[in-house]
Structure 1
Amino acid sequence: MLLLFPLLAVACQPPLISAAAEDRPIPAASELTTAPLAIVTGKGAFSFVVEIARSEAEQAQGLKHRRPLAPDRGMIFPMRPARLASFWMKDTPSPLDIIFIAPGGTVARVAAMTKPYSLDPIDSGVPVEAVLEIAGGRAEQIGLQPGDRVNWRDPGGE
Structure 2
Amino acid sequence: MRVSAVLSVVCLLVLAGCAGGGFGSDGGNQGTQTPTTVEETVNAAFVTGGNRTTVTLEVANSAGERERGLMYRESLAKNHGMVFVFEDPAVQSFWMKNTLIPLDMVFVSENGTVLNVAHADTQPNASDSELRSYQSDGDAKYVVEMRQGFADRVGIEPGSKLVFEESRPKVEES
TM over 0.5: yes
Aligned pair 1:115/2:85, yes or no?
no
Among residues 85, 91, 94, which one is paired with 1:78 in the alignment? 85
Supply the distance in 1 between the matched residues of 2:57 and 2:73 (Cα, whole angstroms): 14
Shift of 1:27: 3.2
TM-aligned CA deviation for residue 68 of structure 1: 2.1
Which of 1 and 2 has greater Rg?
Answer: 1
Residue 146 of structure 2 aligns with an amino acid whose one-letter code is I
Judge conservation of contact 1:37–1:49 (CA < 8 Å) in 2.
yes
Kept in 2, the 8 Å contact 1:26–1:67? The answer is: no
Greater mean deviation of Cα atoms: 70-79 or 89-98: 70-79
Cα 1:125–1:73, aligned 2, differ >3 Å: closer, same or farther?
A: same
Task: Give the one of 143, 150, 160 matched to 1:131.
Answer: 143
Q: Deviations over 1:76-117 (max 9, x none)?
A: 0112211110000010011000000012100000002x1113
| 2:34 matched residue in structure 1 | 27
Give CA deviations for 1:1-30 in whole Å, capped at 9, x if unaligned. Answer: xxxxxxxxxxxxx9698xxx4xx3563661
Correspondence for 2:51 = 44
State the TM-score, normalizing by the size of structure 1: 0.78
1:32-87: CA deviation from partner (whole Å, max 9, x where unpaired): 30010100112610011100001111101000000221221010011221111000
Structure 2 Cα separation of the partners of residues 123 and 156 of structure 1: 21
Unaligned runs of 5+ residues in structure 2 are: 1-25
**Superposition RMSD in Å:** 2.4
Select which of 65, 68, 71 maps to 1:61: 68
Classify the secondary structure of the residue corresponding to 2:52: strand
User: Structure 1 residues 135 and 26 mapped into 2: Cα distance closer, same or farther (>3 Å)?
Assistant: farther
Name the CA distance, whole Å, in 2 between partners of 1:69 and 1:39: 18
User: What is the TM-score when the length of structure 2 is the normalising length?
Assistant: 0.72
- 1:154 pairs with 2:161: no
Whole-Å separation in 1 of the counterparts to 2:58 and 2:105: 14
Alignment partner of 1:145 out of 140, 157, 160: 157
- For 2:169 and 2:106, the matched residues in 1 are separated by 21
**Residue aligned with 2:121, SS:** coil
Contact 2:62 2:171 in 1 (8 A): no
- Residue 104 (structure 2) pairs with residue 89 (structure 1): no
| Corresponding letter in the other structure for 2:63 | E
For residues 53 and 16 of structure 1, what CA distance do their matches in structure 2 show? 20
